[in-house]
């Protein structure tokens, strides 16, 4: 049993190589996505009509930029593949992605909440939508206890209705009023 257990240093080295391979895999995906998007944008830019008044038209600069981006992504992707092989080959992509998401679950939950908030902002109005966003976000981060609920409700009230009043009355900046409820 003990003979089969890897030594701590060796285990750490294996773990760090696996982590590097996982990080590199995520970056490789990003290089591919950016590279493909760059090729597509360069193609779209090249279809823009040329100018009569100058040698470079509206499409020349974007074509140049996206071509450079595609070349950089290609170089980075090749280097990335080499690094992944050096660090023990391709890790299980689904497992790696699942782990990546799990570590960042609260961040993504807050982001999801932000998307919903931005979506309902024009309908509910700044004060009401912000109150809901702040309350849920604070409880997501701090956890739900009697104390955190009371604190969060107070903070949400101050920074939603209070902030709206501050901007409108002091700075003359008018935030979305909402369609359903005009707060």
Q: Could you write out the three-class secondary structure of the chain?
A: CCCCCCCHHHHHHHHHHHHHHHHHHHHHHHHHHHHHHHHHHHHHHHCCCCCCCCCCCCCHHHHHHHHHHHHHHHHHHHHHHHHHHHCCCCCCHHHHHHHHHHHCHHHHHHHHHHHHHHHHHHHHCHHHHHHHHHHHHHHHHHCCCHHHHHHHHHHHHHHHHHHHHHHHHCCCCCCCCCCCCCC
97 binds other proteins (CB under 8 A): no
Which window, 7-15, 21-29, 91-99, contacts other proteins (CB under 8 A)? 21-29
9 binds other proteins (CB under 8 A): no
User: Which of 1, 84 has the CB closer to other proteins?
Assistant: 84
Among 46, 62, 149, 157, interactor with other proteins by CB under 8 A: 62
Q: Identify residues 30-59 at the interface with other proteins (CB under 8 A).
A: 30-31, 34, 38, 41, 44-45, 48, 51, 54-56, 58-59
85 binds other proteins (CB under 8 A): no
Q: Identify residues 113-152 at the interface with other proteins (CB under 8 A).
A: 114-115, 117-118, 121-122, 130, 133-134, 137-138, 141-142, 148, 151-152
- Quote the least distance from Cβ 175 to other proteins, whole Å: 6
């Amino acid at each position: 049993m003990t003979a089969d257990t890897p030594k701590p240093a060796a285990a750490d080295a294996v773990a760090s190589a696996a982590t590097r391979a996982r990080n590199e895999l995520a970056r490789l995906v990003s290089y591919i996505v950016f590279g493909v998007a760059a090729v597509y944008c360069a193609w779209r830019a090249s279809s823009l009509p040329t100018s009569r008044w100058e040698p470079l038209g509206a499409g020349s600069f974007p074509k140049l930029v996206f071509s450079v981006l595609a070349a950089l992504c290609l170089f980075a992707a090749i280097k990335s593949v080499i690094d992944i092989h050096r660090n023990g080959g391709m890790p299980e992509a689904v497992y790696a992605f699942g782990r990546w998401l799990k570590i960042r679950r609260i961040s993504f939950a807050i982001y999801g909440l932000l998307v919903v908030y931005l979506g309902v902002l024009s309908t509910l109005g700044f004060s009401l939508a912000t109150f809901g966003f702040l309350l849920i976000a604070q409880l997501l981060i701090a956890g739900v206890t009697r104390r955190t609920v009371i604190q969060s409700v107070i903070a949400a009230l101050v920074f939603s209705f209070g902030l709206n009043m501050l901007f409108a009355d002091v700075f003359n900046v008018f935030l979305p009023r909402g369609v359903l409820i005009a707060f």
